[in-house]
Amino acid sequence: MSHPVSLLIHTQQPLLGRLIAESLAHRQYSARVEPDLEALRRSDEQNPASALLIEGTDAAHAWLSERPPEVRCRCLVLGEGDLDRFADLGCRLVSPADSIERIERELRHVSPERSGPSNLLLIVDDDPDTRATIREYFQALGYDCASAANGAEALVKIREEVPDVVLLDLNMPEMGGLEFLKVVRQLNNAFGIIVVTALHDPRIAARAVSSGAFDVVEKPVNFQHLAYLVRIQISRREALKAQAAAAKA
């Protein structure tokens, strides 16, 4: 690492915060523990940190919900149990039981100093376990991941930040996958959509593709195949960007 990466830490366990800061300091991180979220906000606004490490409390969730996407994507949330609501905000997750090596690996993903941009996947599924499983797999491959519990939430996320690929369930409350496809394709065709569903019905799959999905993957998921389809969609999007840039030149 050519220069120290700055890190702001807030946790209700001051000793844990200091231990993490000291351990990362030996790895060329410039880490500072802030006493509360307001102090962390002021510090980050005055001198934006490379990454934020915040304990996953109710107060932290409310605080992060009010922050813009460019702040949330720099945030690593520390906690145990069900932290899926933080993942839905676009944050990455670690546990206090994780090794400092694991925490550092996750920090590399949220730090702007990491090498090269990461592609963003939006995972849309009403089952939190499914969202978590898909997210963990693709984060391990180096992707940034956001998630939503239904089509309506997904539309909000897309307005905040356009993903490279959407992984879309079909059977969801409030707004299902087919309705989402109908609405979103009227608004934006800049990203790929891959349906991931437990509905083994070729007629529904055909409707999804005709409505704008690239392909349909059935559950239980073959992750290697799904990752292959994601790479195809990202390559297609990058080619379209290059063509558009060449046309403007």
Q: What is the per-residue DSSP string for 56-119?
A: --HHHHHHHHTS-HHHHTTEEEE-SS--HHHHTTT-EEE-TTS-HHHHHHHHHHHSTTSSSPPP
Measured over the CA atoms of residue 111, residue 114, residue 120 and residue 126, the dihedral's sign is: negative
The first and second tokens of residue 169, run together, are 């369930």
Instruction: Identify whether 220 is preceded by a cis peptide bond (ω within 30 of 0).
Output: yes
- Residues 166 and 223 placed together within one structural domain of the fold: yes
The string of pLDDT tens digits covering residues 112-132 is: 554 445 789 999 999 999 999
Q: List the one residue out of 137, 155, 130, 157 whose CA is nearest residue 146.
A: 157
Domain stop point among 61, 81, 110: 110
The pLDDT assigned to 114 comes to: 46
**Distance of alpha carbon 213 from alpha carbon 236, whole angstroms:** 14
Residues belonging to the chain: 249
**Distance of alpha carbon 31 from alpha carbon 22, whole angstroms:** 8
**Distance of alpha carbon 219 from alpha carbon 197, whole angstroms:** 6
- Residues 153 and 93 placed together within one structural domain of the fold: no
Tell me: pLDDT of 15 over 70: yes
Reported as a pLDDT band with limits 50, 70 and 90, residue 106 is confident
Coil/strand/helix, residue 42: helix
The pLDDT assigned to 4 comes to: 59
Domain stop point among 110, 138, 171: 110
- Residues 106 and 222 placed together within one structural domain of the fold: no
- Residues 101 and 131 placed together within one structural domain of the fold: no
The pLDDT assigned to 126 comes to: 96
Give the DSSP letter of residue 55.
E
The pLDDT assigned to 153 comes to: 95
Ordered alpha helix ranges (H), the chain: 14-25, 37-46, 58-65, 69-72, 84-87, 100-110, 128-140, 151-160, 177-187, 202-210, 223-248
The string of pLDDT tens digits covering residues 47-72 is: 888 899 999 999 999 999 999 888 88
- Residues 125 and 105 placed together within one structural domain of the fold: no
- Residues 77 and 184 placed together within one structural domain of the fold: no
CB 61 within 8 A of CB 37: no
Average pLDDT across the chain, whole number: 88
Reported as a pLDDT band with limits 50, 70 and 90, residue 2 is very low
The total domain count for the chain is: 2
- Residues 99 and 131 placed together within one structural domain of the fold: no
Tell me: pLDDT of 169 over 80: yes
- Domain CATH number, residue 153: 3.40.50.2300
Indicate whether 115 belongs to any domain. no
pLDDT, greater one: 208 or 97? 208
What is the mean pLDDT of the segment spanning 160-167?
92
Q: What is the residue whose two structure tokens read 């410039």? A: 30
What is the mean pLDDT of the segment spanning 157-165?
91
Indicate whether 211 belongs to any domain. yes
What is the mean pLDDT of the segment spanning 201-213?
94
Reported as a pLDDT band with limits 50, 70 and 90, residue 3 is very low
Tell me: pLDDT of 239 over 90: no
pLDDT over 90 for what percent of the chain?
52
Domain that holds residue 72: 5-110
Tell me: pLDDT of 91 over 70: yes
